[in-house]
Chains A and B, each alone.
Chain A
Amino acid sequence: MPSIDREKWIERLSREISAAWAIAKKDMRIYYLKPNIIVSGILFPLFMFLAFAIGKNAPPGTLIPGLIAITLLFSASSIEPVSIPIERRVKTFDRLLSAPISLHSLVFGESLSGFLYSLGIACLPLVIGVILFSTSIVHIPILVIAMALTAFCFATLGTLFAAYPTENVGEVMSMLNTLRLPLIFISGVFIPISAMPQIGQEIALFSPLTYGNDMIVYAYTGVSLYSPLLDIFVLVIFIMIFQFVANRLYKKFNE
């Protein structure tokens, strides 16, 4: 690549990243403490988890990986389905659509705020596990990669669902929950995938949470259904698909 082209490319990339970061910062300032995000991103996964964990005859520490997985799922995918319909209603979303940035950066920036929010929230069960239940982590780097990839995957999923052209938060949330709720049952969070019937095991292959949860379990126990490398590969593929589809949907729905 000629050096002048490379310089232009680097400048363009740097501008896109800084604009995406500006969008993420804006979302953090405005939406992180909105009541519906706290309910959907923090309280909802906590109560879902308690509903299934209470009465289960297992040491509390062993439930931490599952709690981290569903916290990542719900918190990462909760920001954009709230923020984007609101911004459509007050017309600030047009500001983003007409800015000198690519649609990919817009989707990336929106997802970034969900990603960071989710990582922050998911650290709570992690710390609780270590401090209160002395839960040991066997592979810390794998846990970091698992949390980051899972958070980004579901943040992008949230951005994808928010592409639906509505100004009503409830509409997006209803559609998203239709997908999110079944995911926690088919991804090995509460019932190990190996204990599921054959059809359940086959459906689990299509859930990104399966791979995120598998990696988190591996990080805590050293045992997993798939190789962590395969989990990473599949999660990256899911992120790319979600990013691509979100990009196409935003383009289509803004015509």
Chain B
Amino acid sequence: MDAIEVSHIIKQFGPLTALNDISFSVGIGETFGFLGPNGAGKTTTIRILTGISSPTSGTATIFGHDIEHDTIAARQSMGIVSENSNVYDDLTAWQNMMFSAELYHVGRNEREKKAAELLTLFGLYARRNDIAHGFSKGMKRRLTLAMGLVNSPRLLFLDEPTSGLDVQSNLIIRDVVTDLIRDGVTVFLTTHNIEEANVMCDRVAIINKGHIAAIDAPERLKKTIQSVQSIEFSFDHSSTDQLDELRHFPMVNDARKAGDKFKLYTEDPSVVIDAVMSYARSHNLKVISITTLGPSLEDVFIRLTGLQRSGGTVHAID
């Protein structure tokens, strides 16, 4: 039995097909990343997996419980941490925790013990009697995660857990999630931070336009596009004008500038390294650093979703 089994799910909204025959499974204790551009079908998939929405056809089970027909049993083993820090601003941190525990039928003694433990873990115990309205974004995010864990879930849906957070909150959340993974909790992670998925996930699925474009371990996915390698380097004096010249080097497919570093994408790094060194000599520049990089998970994502790079950002081309 898997933690999640999705079989041939189709979801239509009138004439629009949001999910087109998607199937995948997530093993117990696995950390599974679910990536895709905006509008690809991530939210629809999560809404179906959490029983908020029903599929037009196909089935999904959570630890063997059909999410459509045995919804309550399926939900009982989940914790859901949505992208929005959806805490009750007018309640205290403690009242938020108690409410969440009551919704998930956690017994009185256990919920008080668990709430105290989680608020301490997330650095919020001292503020437990303060209403959440006065909390910072990072504190609300930590409280949201604490509320999602109050029923000791076996499966945790994490939607953009660290997006836009301060360093302290980011570190606390990553540490807690790492501990949960170590304790065998299955994590279904949705994130725009591809590096986060690369580091945390056993496998990732990339969804695009309602189809699963690929599912595999991050390293195996990267191997599928070995042709996308890159050279990252910096000069002692850099300017954006240099980017145009670098882009026209032979064998360079794409060029980007991020901070003081240039990144040139190529299928033949040795040719491009020679060209960069010649360019530096002819322009009287000193090369401060130079590194050859393999394809990143972001490169795989871009390749599979049909997005394109522009400067330091990624834009949809559809």
A residues neighboring B (CB under 8 Å): 12, 15, 18-19, 21-23, 25-26, 29-30, 90-92, 94-102, 254-255
Asked if B103 and A100 sit within 8 Å, CB to CB, the answer is yes
Nearest A-chain residue to B101, judged by Cβ: A22
Nearest B-chain residue to A11, judged by Cβ: B105
For A12, A95, A102, the residue with the greatest tally of chain B CB atoms inside 10 Å of its CB is: A95
Distance in angstroms between the alpha carbons of A224 and B93 in the assembled complex: 51
Which residues in chain B, 49-65, are within 8 Å of chain A measured between CB atoms?
A: 50-54
Distance in angstroms between the alpha carbons of A104 and B28 in the assembled complex: 31
Asked if B82 and A91 sit within 8 Å, CB to CB, the answer is yes
Nearest A-chain residue to B84, judged by Cβ: A91
Asked if A254 and B102 sit within 8 Å, CB to CB, the answer is no
Asked if A90 and B90 sit within 8 Å, CB to CB, the answer is no
The yes or no answer to B276 lying at the interface (CB within 8 A) is no
Nearest first, the 9 A-B pairs at minimum CB distance are: A22-B102, A100-B75, A91-B86, A91-B84, A99-B103, A30-B90, A100-B76, A98-B50, A92-B86
Distance in angstroms between the alpha carbons of A164 and B104 in the assembled complex: 26
Distance in angstroms between the alpha carbons of A98 and B88 in the assembled complex: 16
The yes or no answer to B87 lying at the interface (CB within 8 A) is yes
Known A-B contacts A19-B103, A26-B99, A96-B103; the reply to A255 vs B91 at CB < 8 A is no
The yes or no answer to B100 lying at the interface (CB within 8 A) is yes
Asked if B54 and A95 sit within 8 Å, CB to CB, the answer is no
The yes or no answer to B80 lying at the interface (CB within 8 A) is yes
Q: Which residues of B contact A23 (CB under 8 A)?
A: 103
Name 21 interchain pairs, CB-CB below 8 A, sorted by A: A15-B105, A18-B105, A22-B102, A23-B103, A29-B90, A30-B90, A30-B91, A90-B84, A91-B84, A92-B86, A94-B86, A95-B100, A95-B103, A96-B103, A97-B52, A98-B50, A99-B104, A100-B73, A100-B105, A102-B72, A255-B54
Set B52, B73, B91, B104: member contacting A26, Cβ < 8 A: B91
Q: Which residues of A contact B78 (CB under 8 A)?
A: 98
Q: Which residues of A contact B86 (CB under 8 A)?
A: 90-92, 94-95
Distance in angstroms between the alpha carbons of A21 and B102 in the assembled complex: 9
Asked if A98 and B51 sit within 8 Å, CB to CB, the answer is yes
Asked if B82 and A19 sit within 8 Å, CB to CB, the answer is no
Asked if A99 and B75 sit within 8 Å, CB to CB, the answer is yes
CB distance from A105 to the nearest CB of B (A): 10
Asked if A254 and B75 sit within 8 Å, CB to CB, the answer is no
Distance in angstroms between the alpha carbons of A30 and B131 in the assembled complex: 11
Distance in angstroms between the alpha carbons of A29 and B89 in the assembled complex: 11
Distance in angstroms between the alpha carbons of A19 and B72 in the assembled complex: 12
CB distance from A236 to the nearest CB of B (A): 26
Interface flags, B167-211, vs A, CB<8A=1, else 0: 000000000000000000000000000000000000000000000
CB distance from B103 to the nearest CB of A (A): 4
Q: Which residues of A contact B82 (CB under 8 A)?
A: 91, 94-95
